[in-house]
Amino acid sequence: MPINVLFAATPERWATYEPALRRAFGGAGLNVYLAQEIPADDVDYIVYAPNSELQDFTPYTRTKAVLNLWAGVEAIVGNTTLTQPLARMVDPGMTRSMTEWVTGHVLRHHLGMDRHILDQSGDWTPVVPPLAEERRVCVLGLGELGTSVARTLQSLRFSVSGWSRSPKDVAGINTFHGDAGLDDALRQAEILVLLLPDTPATHNTLDARRLALMPRGAFVINPGRGPLIDDDALLAALDSGQIAHATLDVFRVEPLPADHPYWAHPRVTVTPHIAAETRAKTASEVIAENIRRGEAGEPFLYLVDRSLGY
Ligand code: NAP
């Protein structure tokens, strides 16, 4: 019996994903459809982007799993019509992309690149940066992405700590967990990277009290999700010099509204949610493996815990 896979994402993604999914399956036994091409009750699996038009899963009575194309599931996890297993995206290409993006922005701040790319003012004032081993970087979230980021920074000899909900043991990383652990982690965060999911428990993780715990003049890098940060508190911390610079890839409202104070702030870098895109080739291989598992009666990979929201 062929397996029917519905591709429910924005239509412009189809041209990239259709061949990638077929290739990942080796061409055997897989039909891939756009929504209008197949009756809902013939669909075995849904490859899903939360910004697709599909929001009511009730008609998909035969569907065995919904396979999210994004790592973040906050826009779908509360959908009460979705009763099938939901897998989030763990894509090696996305992980490498996030690791490269964060490493680049950590190095920018660590090395003081902005200061040392000289302009025509001719200000020749060298400020020698510390070595990486003298710089303390903290990664909030030690999941797929945070662990890869932490390991890569550690391999460059940064002094790396990390924080997660449950205890972790990552070689070479000083790990913290739970609420008390967060305060301790922040006290040593000269460069802070936020890679937590957007859940009710993570909203405003970085608030005024916690920003004040960080070493004065620290840097904040947020490729996680906008609601992790209390924006007013961050702006106040930037104005007071408690935070030297914030590099922000994600926001409560995207695109970031034209009148948002982040645009005009001299010590904020705004990037357009570009840190880590899902890569069709590697993501399709992950999707194919999960469908293979579903057909073989094996447990799905990367299932979302609906009670935790990630
Ligand atoms: P993940 O593997 O699920 O890891 C999430 C990490 O956050 C885990 O270590 C988890 O702790 C921790 N965590 C969750 N809730 C927590 C809480 N209440 N307190 C402390 N720690 C908590 O997720 P991922 O694949 O690394 O992705 C992380 C996030 O990155 C995504 O959810 C998404 O929002 C964002 N993202 C952004 C982009 C972009 O382009 N900007 C791209 C991809 C992903 P445990 O390990 O104990 O469970």
Atom of ligand 1 nearest to the CA of 182: 20
Based on the fold, state whether residues 38 and 169 are members of the same structural domain.
no
Residue 209 resides in a domain: yes
Q: Alpha carbon 257 to chain centroid distance? A: 21
Peptide bond before 19: cis, by omega within 30 degrees of 0? no
Residue 34 resides in a domain: yes
Based on the fold, state whether residues 153 and 57 are members of the same structural domain.
no
Based on the fold, state whether residues 81 and 165 are members of the same structural domain.
no
Q: How far is the CA of 3 from the centre of ligand 1 (A)?
A: 31
Mutational pocket test of ligand 1: of 152, 196, 210, 225, the residue with most ligand atoms within 8 Å of the beta carbon: 196
Spans of the chain below 50 pLDDT: none
Based on the fold, state whether residues 215 and 237 are members of the same structural domain.
yes
CA nearest ligand 1 atom 8, residue: 143
Residue 305 resides in a domain: no
Tell me if residue 157 is catalytic: no
Q: Which residues line ligand 1 (CB under 6 A)?
A: 71-72, 94, 98, 141-146, 164-166, 195-199, 201-202, 223-225, 249-250, 273, 275-276, 310
What is the β-pairing status of strands 243-248 and 268-270?
parallel
CA distances to 113, 224, 226 from 247, rounded to whole Å, are 14, 11, 12
Based on the fold, state whether residues 33 and 164 are members of the same structural domain.
no
Catalytic pick among 96, 177, 260, 273 = 273
Which residue range forms the structural domain that includes residue 129? 93-270
Based on the fold, state whether residues 137 and 17 are members of the same structural domain.
no
Residue 162 resides in a domain: yes
The number of folded domains in the chain is: 2
Q: How far is the CA of 141 from the centre of ligand 1 (A)?
A: 5
**Pairwise CA distance, residues 54 & 50, whole Å:** 8
Based on the fold, state whether residues 157 and 47 are members of the same structural domain.
no
Based on the fold, state whether residues 177 and 219 are members of the same structural domain.
yes
Residue 302 resides in a domain: no
How much is the pLDDT for 27? 67
Based on the fold, state whether residues 78 and 98 are members of the same structural domain.
no
Tokens of 47: 């490859």
Based on the fold, state whether residues 79 and 105 are members of the same structural domain.
no
**Pairwise CA distance, residues 280 & 259, whole Å:** 34
Q: Residue 78: give its domain's CATH number.
A: 3.40.50.720
Residue 309 resides in a domain: no
Based on the fold, state whether residues 243 and 232 are members of the same structural domain.
yes
Tell me if residue 273 is catalytic: yes
How much is the pLDDT for 28? 67
Based on the fold, state whether residues 104 and 159 are members of the same structural domain.
yes
Tokens of 107: 């190095």
How much is the pLDDT for 30? 81
